Amino acid sequence: MKKRIIVQGRLNDDQLAELSEHFELLEPLGSFDLSDAGVRETLSQVHGIVGASLPVTPEFLGAAPNLEVIATVSVGYDTVPVDELTRRGILLCNTPDVLTETTADTGFALIMATARRMVELATWVKAGAWEAGVGTELYGSDVHGKTLGLVGFGRIGQAVARRGALGFNMKVLYSNASPKPEVERELGAERRELDQLLSEADFVCLTVPLTEETEKLIGANELEKMKSSAILVNIARGKVVDEGALIDALERGVIKGAGLDVFENEPLGDTSPLPGMANVVALPHIGSATHETRTAMAQRAVDNMRLALIGERPLSPVNDEVLK
C-alpha cells in the first residue's frame, strides 16, 4: 500500500507528479477545524503532510495517529511543537539554505527603502506632488558606511551582514547565542551584548527564530536603547517584537523608522496603524517570495518527504532524534 500524504500549499505539477509516483495524494484539508468530520477522516489516514505555517497542535496530532513526517515549506517552524512531535516519533523537516540569500535581499531592500524613504517618496511622485526639487524635509539617511547590527547571526543574519560589509562598507555588529569567529574574521564583524548592539547600531536587523526566549525580545526598553536616528528591520517573525511598543516608539520618535516584513498577526488587516505610518515600510511577509526560491523551497520539502517516507535520511531534518 502506498503511504498517504496531503499537500497543503503550492507545489508545481512536476513536484506533485513526483510525490504521486511514490505516495497516494489525499485531497488537501479545506480547513484545520477538527470538529469537521471530513478533516478528521483525512487526518486519520495520513502519513505525511507538506505545507507551510501549519497550525499543528496536540489535538491535531491526536487526530493523525499514522502521521510520520511533516515537511514544512519554510525554514522557521515556530507554529509546530517540536518536542511534542519528537515524543510521538514524528519527524519534522524544514527548508534551510535555499531561501537564505533571497530573504537577506528582502532584509537589505527594507534597510534601503526605509532609510531612503523610497515607498513614501514613490507614493508622493505617483500622487503628482513632485512640482519642484525636494527640500530637506524629504531627505533620507545614508546606508553606506553606517553600523549594521544583526540580532541573530545564523544563515540569514550572516547573509545580510555580507551585503552590508562587502557592498556598503558597513561596520557589522552581531548579537547571537554563540560566537561566530569565522564570520568575524571574514567581515570584521564584532559580537556585542544585545543592549550594547542596540545603542551602537544605525540599523538593527532581526534574524532570530521565534522561540520562547525570543518572543518580544525587542520591547519598549530595547527600543529606548536604540539611537533616535536608528531604523529597525524585522525579517524574522512578528512576535519577536512587542508591536504595541514599536508603534508607540515610532509615533514618539524614539526611533526613526521601521522596515517590517513580518507582524504579530498576519495578514495585517485594516486595524494596524503600521502601514499608514510615513516612517514604516510594511511588506506582506515576502522574505522568500520569489519564483526561484519558492520553487526551490517546495522542491526541498518534496525531497524531504520522499526520502523520509521511504526510510532514507531527508536533506534537512529538524528533530534528528526521531531518526535514531
Judged by CB under 6 A, the residue of 99, 143, 148, 246 near ligand NAP is 99
Q: Nearest residue by C-beta to ligand NAP?
A: 154
Judged by CB under 6 A, the residue of 170, 183, 258, 262 near ligand NAP is 262
Asked if 22 contacts 306 with a C-beta cutoff of 8 angstroms, the reply is yes
By CB under 6 A, the count of residues binding ligand NAP is: 30
- 237 assigned to active site: yes
Shortest distance in whole angstroms from residue 154 CB to ligand NAP? 2
Shortest distance in whole angstroms from residue 72 CB to ligand NAP? 11
- Quick one: 140 or 275, whose CB is closer to ligand NAP? 275
Shortest distance in whole angstroms from residue 101 CB to ligand NAP? 11
Q: Is 176 left (phi over 0), alpha (psi -120 to 50) or beta?
A: beta
Of 53, 105, 114, 42, whose CA–CA distance to 78 is shortest?
53
Binding letters toward ligand NAP, positions 282-311, x by CB under 6 A: ---x-xx-----------------------
For residue 156, state whether it binds ligand NAP (rule: CB under 6 A): yes
Question: What's CA 191's distance to the chain center, in Å?
Answer: 22
- Upper half-sphere CA count for residue 169 (Cβ side, 13 Å): 3
Shortest distance in whole angstroms from residue 4 CB to ligand NAP? 29
Of 227, 279, 285, whose CA–CA distance to 250 is shortest?
279
For residue 92, state whether it binds ligand NAP (rule: CB under 6 A): no
- Quick one: 178 or 271, whose CB is closer to ligand NAP? 178
What φ, ψ does residue 93 adopt, rounded to 5°?
A: -125, 150
Asked if 169 contacts 145 with a C-beta cutoff of 8 angstroms, the reply is yes
Judged by CB under 6 A, the residue of 9, 48, 149, 154 near ligand NAP is 154
- Quick one: 233 or 245, whose CB is closer to ligand NAP? 233
Q: DSSP assignment of 162-226, as one string?
A: HIIIIIH--EEEEE-SS--HHHHHHH--EE--HHHHHHH-SEEEE-PPP-TTTTT-B-HHHHHHS
CA-CA-CA-CA torsion for 67, 96, 319, 311, nearest 10 degrees?
60
For residue 177, state whether it binds ligand NAP (rule: CB under 6 A): yes
- Upper half-sphere CA count for residue 211 (Cβ side, 13 Å): 8
- 131 assigned to active site: no
Q: Measure the CA–CA gap between 52 and 70, rounded to whole angstroms.
A: 10
Shortest distance in whole angstroms from residue 158 CB to ligand NAP? 8
C-alpha cell recorded at residue 97? 539554505
Judged by CB under 6 A, the residue of 96, 149, 238, 314 near ligand NAP is 96
For residue 95, state whether it binds ligand NAP (rule: CB under 6 A): no
Strands 4-8 and 231-234 come out as unpaired
Residues 195-254 close enough to bind ligand NAP by CB under 6 A: 207-211, 213-214, 235-237
Active site residues: 237, 266, 285
Residues making contact with ligand NAP (CB under 6 A): 75-76, 96, 99-100, 103, 152-157, 176-178, 207-211, 213-214, 235-237, 261-262, 285, 287-288
